[in-house]
A and B are shown apart, each in its own frame.
Chain A
Amino acid sequence: MSKKNGESPYERLKRKAAEILPQNIYQDLIDKVEASGLSEEGKQRVIEEAIRQYLHAQVQPGEAVGTVAAQSIGEPGTQMTLRTFHFTGIVEFDVTLGLPRLIEIVDAKREPSTPLTYIYLKEPWRSDEAKAREVARKIEYTTMEKIIEDIDYQLGDRVITIVLDKERLEDKGVTVDQVVKALKKEKIGEVLSIEEGEYKGKPVIFIDVEVSEKLLPEESLLMPQSFHSVNEKIKKIYLKGIKGIKRISVREEEEGSGKFMLLAEGNNLEEILRLQEVDYRRTRSNNIHEIARVLGIEAARNALIDEIMNVLKEAGLDVDIRHVMIVADIMTWSGAIRQIGRLGVAGEKPSVLARAAFEVTVKQLYEAAVTGELERFLGVTENIIAGLPPRVGTGAVLLRMGKPARNG
């Protein structure tokens, strides 16, 4: 009886365990049991006990997991700080953390209040700070405004002088050539001369431009506001970079690792992932909607879990990840991101009373009355309002009196 088709009872038990237990628990268990030096029988008993404990710990059918998740996140949430800003070892950037960030995630706000993009690089850019900095310069959205020191003009004179700060030019990695090309492309006018010089004690480059007649008609030559609008136009000229990426900093992935990554203020995941220098497998942003749009709903679910867990961990709260996973699953259930709230999950409940209990009570009741909605008392909230046992846990089972049993 001990050997059936060449399999020992221990092996049979192992197979049974593999079927029941999740992979990583199974692997952990087997590794430890094999290394323990227990007798065959001892090993069997440990595995049997593990299976028993696992089944015991599983959620029972009918368990109100959603309510438990809400409580388990809500209670620690009351201990979170209301303070918006917090530094997380990043000197240059503010990162919204704590309760405001949690609310932002759960409300599925279109734009995070501090949009960030974590850009990981491929080799060789990854292990070379100078090269990483080059990529950063390439990505940072740069307009003329960032390198212009001043624009000089005189009423009645078509020729204006653009003063470029040489230091900033170098810092942003823009060449004078690029500037001239951009001026030409935007049809500002003819570049007359380029000269180096000094302006307010700074080394600068003067560019004289004869503004085209189209931008500055003859009759408006004496009006300051027309010059002003030309200035504004010049300042807005796009030089390079990716739209939406405002500031960017180079940092080490982990301190002392010698591997560099970029941290960018602003979101534009799609364009960033297209760059050949960027590791498109790891680069991510903190904008859930953007992730759903670019990488799909499952990626958004993972990002939701990561973001919420990160906020909770940062606040020093120990919330089981399973509760967060339920929240993320509910938020992504429909294939798009839904907020937990009046405009999302809570607002789409089929029960009138449940919706009315959440927010804008009168409006909900009024509209339900107009459309003649039916209350079926299937959810938790409406049953509690009505004083009925909710259909969860033991309440999920309905008992009905049958015919009296014969003979007593």
Chain B
Amino acid sequence: MASKRGLGKKVLEHELVPEHRLLTIEEAIDVLRRLGAQPWHLPRISVNDPVARVLGAKPGDIIEIKRRSHTGGEALYYRIVVAYQKGVK
């Protein structure tokens, strides 16, 4: 039918998708220091995740996710970008 490419920026506007932001290296280091965590401690997101693709993220980047929490307004969550994963297109 239509092109095989993803939906592009439309994805970011979907109500299920919280706000994602790619952190700069300085911000990423700051976040890790604040959490007292190593990069591999963080939850992951695949480079081929639709949102990560729109942001142009590369493996090793950290993405900040502003979740609309069900219990307390907004909550920040961090995911580290990892290489291609099976099961994610």
Q: Chain A interface (Cβ within 8 Å of chain B)?
A: 22-27, 242-243, 270-271, 273-274, 280-282, 284, 289, 291-299, 302-303, 305, 321-322, 325, 329, 332-337
Contacts and interface: CB of A to CB of B under 8 A. Distances in A.
13 contacts: A274-B2, A292-B87, A292-B88, A294-B7, A294-B50, A294-B89, A298-B67, A298-B79, A321-B71, A335-B45, A335-B85, A336-B86, A336-B87
B17 A299 contact: yes
Contacts of B73: 22-27
Contacts of B15: 281-282
A302 B18 contact: yes
A299 B20 CA distance: 11
A298 B18 contact: yes
A295 B44 contact: no
Given A242-B1, A271-B2, A337-B87, A297 B49 contact: yes
Nearest to A292: B88
Contacts of A292: 87-88
A298 B65 contact: yes
- Which residue, of B13, B14, B18, B70, has the highest number of chain A Cβ atoms within 10 A? B14
A321 B45 contact: no
B88 A336 contact: yes
Nearest to A291: B16
A329 B89 contact: no
A262 to B, nearest CB: 17
- Which residue, of B18, B20, B65, B88, has the highest number of chain A Cβ atoms within 10 A? B88
Nearest to A334: B44
Contacts of B33: none
A305 B18 CA distance: 14
Contacts of B86: 336
Instruction: Provide the main secondary structure of the chain A interface.
Output: helix
Contacts of A305: 70
- Which residue, of B16, B20, B88, has the highest number of chain A Cβ atoms within 10 A? B16
Contacts of A25: 72-73
Contact of A303 (B2, B16, B87, B89): B16
Contact of B71 (A297, A299, A322, A337): A322
Contacts of A295: 11, 14, 16-17, 50-51
A335 B46 contact: yes
B71 A335 contact: no
A305 B68 CA distance: 13
B14 A299 contact: yes
Contacts of B7: 270, 273-274, 280, 294
Q: Which 7 A-B pairs have the closest CB atoms?
A: A23-B73, A22-B72, A299-B16, A335-B44, A296-B51, A335-B46, A336-B87
B46 to A, nearest CB: 4
Contacts of A294: 6-7, 11, 50, 89
B28 interface: no
A370 B13 CA distance: 50
Nearest to A268: B1
Contacts of B71: 22, 321-322, 325
B56 interface: no
B10 to A, nearest CB: 5
A10 to B, nearest CB: 22
A191 B71 CA distance: 64
B87 to A, nearest CB: 4
A280 B52 contact: no
B5 to A, nearest CB: 10
Contacts of A291: 16
Interface in B1-46: 1-2, 6-7, 10-11, 13-18, 20, 43-46
Contacts of B45: 296-298, 335
B48 to A, nearest CB: 9
A298 B46 contact: no
A243 B2 CA distance: 12
A243 B44 CA distance: 32
Contacts of B75: 22
- Which residue, of B2, B13, B15, has the highest number of chain A Cβ atoms within 10 A? B15
A337 B85 CA distance: 11
B17 A296 contact: yes
Given A292-B87, A295-B14, A335-B43, 19 more contacts: A22-B75, A273-B7, A274-B1, A280-B14, A281-B15, A284-B16, A291-B16, A294-B11, A296-B52, A297-B51, A298-B17, A298-B18, A298-B45, A298-B65, A299-B14, A333-B44, A335-B46, A335-B49, A335-B82
